[in-house]
Amino acid sequence: MSKFEFIKNDIEGLVVIKPTVFGDDRGFFMETYQKDEFARAGIDKEFVQDNHSKSSKGVLRGLHFQTENTQGKLVRVISGEVYDVAVDCRPASKTFGQWFGVVLSSENKMQFYIPEGFAHGFLVLSDEAEFVYKCTDVYNPGAEGGIPFDDPTVNVQWPQVDCPLKLSEKDKHHTPFSQQKFEWFERY
């Protein structure tokens, strides 16, 4: 019996992962990654870097990608709640320019796998959230790129939060999707 349910959607490669959680009055236990089970589900990448961030309500990080050292990501929330989004940036994909979003929280314990070739971002819905993720390549600050969170071509439907959005200076100045070339994603 698998310890994970792998839920696919209309965008090829994106997978929501629901772990089996064993709980009682003492707490809970779950596996968050098991190489063989993930490989059987088509996620057979080697993860080489783990990251952990903490953000407050209304923080919107993204939509980010790297033009070199492109990263696949296995993301989850260990405290709080976020709305997590991936945008298909693979020019040869039949879903190029489409997005998919999912609520990840410490309560639902779901994970989201985003392969190489996607832009990624999240919005914090709770007072605070801690976000952890595994990457298939190392971070390369010289190869950062992004799409505006409110890009009209992509048209992500972000949930409303009862506070102003908080973006980094970098995230306020990304190139619109329609002006991106995405030639670095042609191999995906």
Among candidate residues 64, 83, 113, 120, the one labeled active-site is 64
CA 9 remoteness from chain centre: 14
Q: Are 21 and 28 in contact (CB under 8 A)?
A: yes
Task: Tell me, yes or no, if 52 is annotated catalytic.
Answer: no
133 catalytic? Reply is yes
Q: State the catalytic residue, choosing from 83, 113, 133, 188.
A: 133
Catalytic residue numbers read 64, 133
